[in-house]
Structure 1
Amino acid sequence: MRALVRRFAGRFALTMSLVVLEAGGWILFPLVIGRAIDSVLADSVRGLYELAALGTGTMLIAIVRRLVDSRAYAKIYVGLADEMVASGEESGTSTRTARLGMLREIVEFFENSLPSLVNSVLGLAGTVLILWVLNVPVFLGCVVVAIATVTLYALTGRLTTRYNEGFNDEYERQVDAVQGGDPSDLRNHLRAMMRWNIRLSDLEAANFGINWVFMTGLLVFAVGAAAQQTLEYGAVFAVVMYVFQFVESMMGIPLYYQQWLRLREISGRLATAVAWRPAPEGAT
């Protein structure tokens, strides 16, 4: 997928720039909300104006980013799909149909999932840095939990890839199974797909459950540590909100990692059908 990014570097640079700006706004919300609380308690409205300005600016950036994304990625998908169909005439109809769906998954990842992933990663980095300033014990707790989460998903990465390979192998047979007209063959095909899907789901559920235990322990620790070390109500609120942001990111980022493992496997299948190289002069 890195070659795909290089081919459409200009479009990706534009959309990612907007994503980074939007992420910066979201990172600042807990801090600005805490400042607004302390400002009101001190009989001042300055913090409220800061909060309103941040909310308005972040909203405008988010709207523009979505308008740009939908148009940029639609052009990318149409261009790549045309190339894939034209260069895949030797492949069966079932394989080409399945790979069109797989190509759509990759484009949708860049359009929908990647902005959320960038938001989560930047939010995670910003959250950890701000917690380092606000409350060192909570910061250290976040570091320990992050290491535990990374270790958990690294240990199960190969298993996730193997399950995705099995699922995609069956998926490429789907049109042939439907057109074959043999109810028994179609039933076996669907059952095989669902078995791979269930294995993926069970693995995800197990990882999610273990990770949530880590996060619950962090939340309990953070609330106690914040209340003991910080006197201002707004500062306590900011610490707790940043821990919630950290938890949200650490629960979400591994799901994107699993999605990336699936798309990496898919991109290997499409490499022979789609030219991940600069388009000819004048092409979309």
Structure 2
Amino acid sequence: MKKINSSVAQLLKGIWSQNYKGLSFTYTLTVIENICELLYAAVLGLAIDGLLEGRPASLVPIATLWIIHLFVGLFRHVYDTKVFIGIYSHIAVDMVERQRAGGVEGNKIVGRTSLSREIVDFFQIEVPAIATASIRFIGAITMLFIYDPFVGIFGLSAMIPIVIINRWFAQRAYRLNSALNDRLEVEPDIIAHQPLAIVRRHFVRLRFWRVSISNAEATTWGGVEIVVIVLTLATLLRLTNIQGISVGTIYAIISYIWMFKDAVGDLPVIVDNLSRVHDIGERVAEEVIPVNSEQ
């Protein structure tokens, strides 16, 4: 994917600066949720060993952690909906006003306003997704090193081919999303004014670009899964050589391998979404001046 240009960076920075209080709070809640999820495997592993040793009180930590996660998650869900709907409403209205004043055609305003929703989705979906993947990856690798340094090294080594695969996908996804957005930007005009034959051709082209993006993403995901399969098998072989390992520890290690799998498995979707947002940002950056939605 191309390096983010100054206009897109300025757009994202402007939205952040105008809404940093609400965004900071919802992102803090997201981090707390992810820390809770990170701790589940370790705490549950301790609970398993405790129960096998006849200590029912070992269930208290896992129950406490689960309740904290539940309440934080519920509150964040309610709070961030309010924050992001407010941001989009202000951006959309301000964008329409500026484009009308600039004499932009009505159908193009509709197309760009619809695409601008993707910019808000970047803050609502992509940023938390990146944070989640990062916390899961860093946390899983850290815990694997704590349980067994060899397994931790396996995990870090697996990232080499995974990064190479996703780098290839990032470049391809940017080109494909750019072509797709070229079509979406003119869609309102085609639907409203063009002959039916052109409308049909338009949707055939949309299908082609969307299928191409999906196929590239599936190829990337498949490559990542192969790497994870090798990592999992290597870990299982390693566990057979650890003397005196407990059932709870085995459970925790395998759980953190799967957490690593979830983190890297989300990368193709994140890369695709970032590529799309980057291209859309280049299209609407000149028309969007963020307005403070927290006032």
% same residue: 21
Give the Cα–Cα distance (whole angstroms) in 2 for the partners of residues 12 and 51 of structure 1: 29
Give the Cα–Cα distance (whole angstroms) in 2 for the partners of residues 31 and 283 of structure 1: 39
Q: How does 1:240-251 map to 2 (within 5 A)?
A: 240-251=254-265
Contact 1:226 1:239 in 2 (8 A): no
| Residue type of the alignment partner of 2:185 | E
The corresponding residue for 1:163 is 176
Q: How does 1:74-223 map to 2 (within 5 A)?
A: 74-89=85-100, 90-223=103-236
Give the Cα–Cα distance (whole angstroms) in 2 for the partners of residues 93 and 132 of structure 1: 57
The corresponding residue for 2:9 is none
Where do 4+ consecutive residues of structure 1 move more than 4 Å?
A: none
The corresponding residue for 1:58 is 69
Q: Secondary structure at the match of 1:219?
A: helix
Q: Secondary structure at the match of 2:54?
A: coil
Give the Cα–Cα distance (whole angstroms) in 1 for the partners of residues 32 and 210 of structure 2: 36
Give the Cα–Cα distance (whole angstroms) in 2 for the partners of residues 77 and 160 of structure 1: 25
For the aligned residue pairs, the C-alpha RMSD in angstroms reads 1.6
Aligned with 1:254 (options 258, 261, 268):
268
The corresponding residue for 2:17 is 6
1:283 Cα shift?
Answer: 7.5
Q: Secondary structure at the match of 2:240?
A: helix
The corresponding residue for 1:269 is 283
Give the Cα–Cα distance (whole angstroms) in 2 for the partners of residues 69 and 22 of structure 1: 14
Bigger relative contact order (CA 8 A; separation at least 6): 2
Give the Cα–Cα distance (whole angstroms) in 1 for the partners of residues 294 and 167 of structure 2: 40
Alignment gaps of 5+ in structure 2: 1-11
What do residues 16-55 of structure 1 show as CA deviations (whole Å, max 9, x unaligned)?
1111111110100000010000111111123201110010
What do residues 102-147 of structure 1 show as CA deviations (whole Å, max 9, x unaligned)?
1212223322343233122112111111101101121111111112
The corresponding residue for 1:237 is 251
| Residue type of the alignment partner of 2:178 | E
1:197 Cα shift?
Answer: 1.2
Contact 1:94 1:176 in 2 (8 A): yes
What do residues 52-77 of structure 1 show as CA deviations (whole Å, max 9, x unaligned)?
00100111111111111011111101
Give the Cα–Cα distance (whole angstroms) in 2 for the partners of residues 59 and 227 of structure 1: 36
1:254 Cα shift?
Answer: 3.1
1:95 Cα shift?
Answer: 1.8
Give the Cα–Cα distance (whole angstroms) in 2 for the partners of residues 57 and 118 of structure 1: 19
In the superposition, relative to structure 1, how do residues 40 and 101 fare at CA in structure 2: closer, same or farther (>3 Å)? same
In the superposition, relative to structure 1, how do residues 2 and 153 fare at CA in structure 2: closer, same or farther (>3 Å)? farther
What do residues 190-241 of structure 1 show as CA deviations (whole Å, max 9, x unaligned)?
1222221121111111111111111111111112212322511100110001
Give the Cα–Cα distance (whole angstroms) in 2 for the partners of residues 26 and 264 of structure 1: 30
Q: What is the TM-score normalised by the length of structure 2?
A: 0.90
1:181 Cα shift?
Answer: 4.2
Aligned with 1:31 (options 24, 33, 42):
42
Contact 2:154 2:231 in 1 (8 A): yes
Give the Cα–Cα distance (whole angstroms) in 1 for the partners of residues 113 and 69 of structure 2: 35
Query: Across the two proteins, how many residue pairs are aligned to each other?
Result: 281
